[in-house]
Structure 1
Amino acid sequence: MNITLEQAERAIAAAKAKAAALNTLMNIAVVDSGTNLVAFVHMDNAWLGSIDISQKKARTARYFNMPTGEIGKLSQPGGSLYNIEHSNGGLITFPGGIPIKNATGEIIGAIGVSGDTVENDHAVAQAGADAVS
């Protein structure tokens, strides 16, 4: 099952609202279960370098069905996923990517956010993911 455009737009709207509440500018990407881009927002004056990062965070979260921050913990030296960020054309292994689940708990896509601290990136992504389920 895939996220619909309506659900992706709801995730984007919630993420934008959270970014505004945090007084930050973000790039927000939503991918479907096959990691295809469904919706994207580049807030005015958000960092250009974060466009690619937000999309890679979304894809990374979906590739492994876990938040990117969790992958980061496992990819530290000595960890079971050490150096995984070099696979799949480049992964992002710090917070800001979260799988999106539907009401029954099935993963239907993912959201990736980049543009500020990893704590704010994660909070904005979580707001977007929570708006769908």
Structure 2
Amino acid sequence: MFKVTPNPPDTDPISPYQSPDSKKFNDAAERALDYHFPSFADFKAKPRTPSTLFAVDPQASSETLTVYLVETLASVDVMVHQLVDHLEGEARYALLGISNSIMVAELTANRLLDQTDPPALERTAVVDE
């Protein structure tokens, strides 16, 4: 039996995406991608506007902020340890890992506080001279 159509059928060598409207299609696709997936450069280009809902007093000294940080970390560590007592298995280990991270942050903040606020004796010795 004779086939009327060639095997494989003759087709245009032009891609379906190459048409007079393909530029419009590509531009629309680029705009959609840029809208839904902004680039890192877009994030860096926008200035950061801090929230005023929870604001820290701009007049607070570094020493005051560091002391508050140390106390907050210590409180969070106590809360985590109270939760650890009620858990078993993987959840307990995860909270213990978080507790260790908090302890490292607390140690770091304490070290910063030591460097920021030398002992009072050293300060008075410098003033007396």
TM-score for the superposition, normalised by structure 2: 0.22
Q: Which has the higher strand share?
A: 1
Q: Which has the higher helix share?
A: 2
TM-score for the superposition, normalised by structure 1: 0.22
The structure, 1 or 2, with the larger RCO (C-alpha pairs under 8 Å, 6+ apart) is: 1
Larger radius of gyration: 2
